């Protein structure tokens, strides 16, 4: 019974690490391919704050 939750936690941790490792890679590709999309949210945030 104790092994069941232990294995589930290990799987969750492995998945989280995999997602984190893929996030930075996807971001770099998106920035080079679509810099407009990456800049839009960053500029929209301060614009709304200033307005």
Residue 17 confidence (pLDDT): 55
Q: Per-residue pLDDT tens for 1-51? A: 556 666 666 666 555 555 555 555 555 555 555 555 555 555 556 566 665
Residue 24 confidence (pLDDT): 53
- Which residue, 22, 48, 27, 25, is CA-closest to 37? 27
Listed in order, strand segments (DSSP E) in the chain are: none
Residue 4 confidence (pLDDT): 62
> Residue 24 and residue 19: Cα distance in Å, rounded?
9
Backbone angles phi, psi at 2, to 5 degrees: -75, -25
* Distances, alpha carbon 24 to alpha carbons 1, 3, 17, 49, 51, in Å: 37, 33, 12, 27, 31
Residue 50 confidence (pLDDT): 61
Structural domain harbouring 14: 3-50
Q: How many domains does the chain have?
A: 1
């Amino acid at each position: 019974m104790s092994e069941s939750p232990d294995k589930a936690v290990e799987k969750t941790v492995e998945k989280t690490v995999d997602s984190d490792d893929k996030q930075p890679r996807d971001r770099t590709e998106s920035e080079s391919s679509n810099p407009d999309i990456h800049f839009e949210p960053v500029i929209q945030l301060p614009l709304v704050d200033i307005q």
